[in-house]
Amino acid sequence: MCDNCACQAAKPATAATASGREFAVAGMTCSSCAAKVDAAVRGVAGVADVDVDVAAGRITITGDVNEAAIAAAVVGAGYRISEA
């Protein structure tokens, strides 16, 4: 069970492959966490693509990235963010 979002999903092992701006995201532990962060970041204007790597605790974002808006989206989804 995921400690953050209380789902029953197992922790996935994925890898970031997209090139772009990387950020560290603390608190993601499962695929539901990843989906929540992905949806929040995709809702930010200018974001072209998001790759979420739960195992590494990182997101990679391509597009015209507004760091403050990205941070607000991730924090609003319930996670902590810092530049990787």
Take residue 47 and report the two structure tokens written for it. 């974001």
Take residue 28 and report the two structure tokens written for it. 């993601």
Classify the phi-psi angles of 78: left when phi > 0, otherwise alpha if psi is within -120 to 50, otherwise beta.
left
Is residue 33's pLDDT more than 50?
yes
The structural domains of the chain, ordered by start, are 21-83 (3.30.70.100)
d(CA 80, CA 13): 20
Among the ranges given (18-22, 24-28, 55-59), the one the predictor scored with the smallest mean pLDDT: 18-22
Tell me the pTM. Answer: 0.77
Residue 7 has a pLDDT of 56
Tell me what the mean pLDDT of segment 53-68 comes to: 93
Residue 82 has a pLDDT of 86
